[in-house]
């Protein structure tokens, strides 16, 4: 299972220019709003994907990821169950974020018999779920009107996550062999994903 966390803001800072307007109206000043980084708040969440499967988005309410929260809210109720369903071939991919590498997380995974994929310290574009975050962000940005509150944003994120095409998930999961091969070929430099 390939996993990752991401953060979405009510007013994202991704350098894309957004103009929220009704169809047929083009670039009227009253329809253009400037946005500033993380104004209005943001939502941190986690998800996992594998061939033929995706988890629901897990929202980290009130705060960011910490080792205890990661273990208690993600690993224990979600990953452990999926690992048991898959069986002995299950391997977890999480990156080298501090909460993922904490002793209590290592102890939990070991006690549950959950294997972890070794992950390079620097891995640009290696995790395919990052491509899904971009697709999810684009889908959210196409919404008109845009989410106005964090609750709206959470609802929209959940809806758009469920609407993403399963074939895209499977394609990204199967791209891991190519991604790893390319990453080794360029000795850890950026790869075209």
CA triple 44-48-53, angle to 5 deg: 140
Q: Report in angstroms the alpha-carbon separations of 78 from 15, 17, 57.
A: 34, 36, 11
Q: Does domain 2-17+38-186 have CATH number 3.30.420.10?
A: yes
Among 23-37, 77-91, 163-177, which stretch is predicted with the lowest mean pLDDT? 23-37
Helix boundaries (H) for the chain: 67-70, 80-86, 103-112, 129-141, 150-163, 166-174, 176-185
Please give the model's pTM, rounded to 2 decimal places: 0.81
Closest CA to 52 of 82, 31, 22, 80: 82
DSSP string, 101-151: GSHHHHHHHHHHT-EE----SS-TT--THHHHHHHHHHHHHT-SSPP-SHH
Q: Report the pLDDT averaged over residues 144-173.
A: 95
Provide the residue ranges of all domains of the chain, joining segments of one domain with +. Answer: 2-17+38-186
Q: How confident is the model at residue 31, as a pLDDT?
A: 62
Grade residue 17 by pLDDT with cuts at 50, 70 and 90: low
Q: Is residue 14 over pLDDT 70? A: no
What is the pLDDT averaged over residues 99-126? Answer: 91
pLDDT at 33 exceeding the cut of 70: no
Give the torsion through C-alpha atoms of 122, 66, 4, 79, to 10 deg: 130
Q: What are phi and psi of 49, to 5 degrees?
A: -135, 155
Residues in the chain: 193
Lowest mean per-residue pLDDT among 61-70, 152-161, 166-175: 61-70
Note the pLDDT of residue 34: 57
Q: Is the pLDDT of residue 42 over 80?
A: yes
Average pLDDT, integer, range 23-47: 70
CA atoms within 13 A on the CB side of 163: 12
Neighbours of 168 (CB within 10 A): 14
pLDDT band at 18 (very low <50, low <70, confident <90, very high): low
Q: Given pLDDT bands bounded at 50, 70 and 90, which one contains residue 70?
A: very high
pLDDT bin (cut points 50, 70, 90) of residue 10 is confident
Contact indicator for 40, 146 with CB cutoff of 8 Å: no
């Amino acid at each position: 299972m390939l996993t990752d966390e991401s953060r979405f803001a009510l007013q994202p800072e991704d350098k894309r220019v957004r103009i929220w307007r009704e169809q047929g109206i083009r670039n009227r000043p009253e329809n253009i709003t400037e946005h500033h980084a993380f104004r209005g708040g943001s939502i941190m969440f986690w998800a996992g994907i594998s061939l033929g499967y995706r988890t629901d988005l897990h929202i980290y309410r009130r705060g960011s990821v910490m080792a205890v929260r990661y273990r208690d809210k993600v690993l224990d109720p979600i990953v452990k169950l999926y690992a048991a369903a898959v069986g002995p071939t299950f391997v977890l991919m999480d990156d080298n974020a501090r909460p993922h590498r904490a002793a209590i997380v290592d102890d939990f995974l070991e006690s549950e018999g959950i294997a972890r994929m070794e992950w390079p310290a620097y891995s640009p574009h290696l995790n395919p779920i990052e491509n899904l975050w971009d697709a999810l962000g684009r889908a959210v940005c196409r919404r008109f009107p845009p989410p106005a509150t964090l609750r709206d944003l959470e609802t929209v994120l959940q809806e758009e996550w469920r609407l993403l095409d399963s074939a895209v998930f499977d394609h990204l999961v199967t791209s891991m062999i190519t991604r790893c091969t390319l990453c080794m070929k360029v000795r850890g430099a950026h790869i075209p994903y």
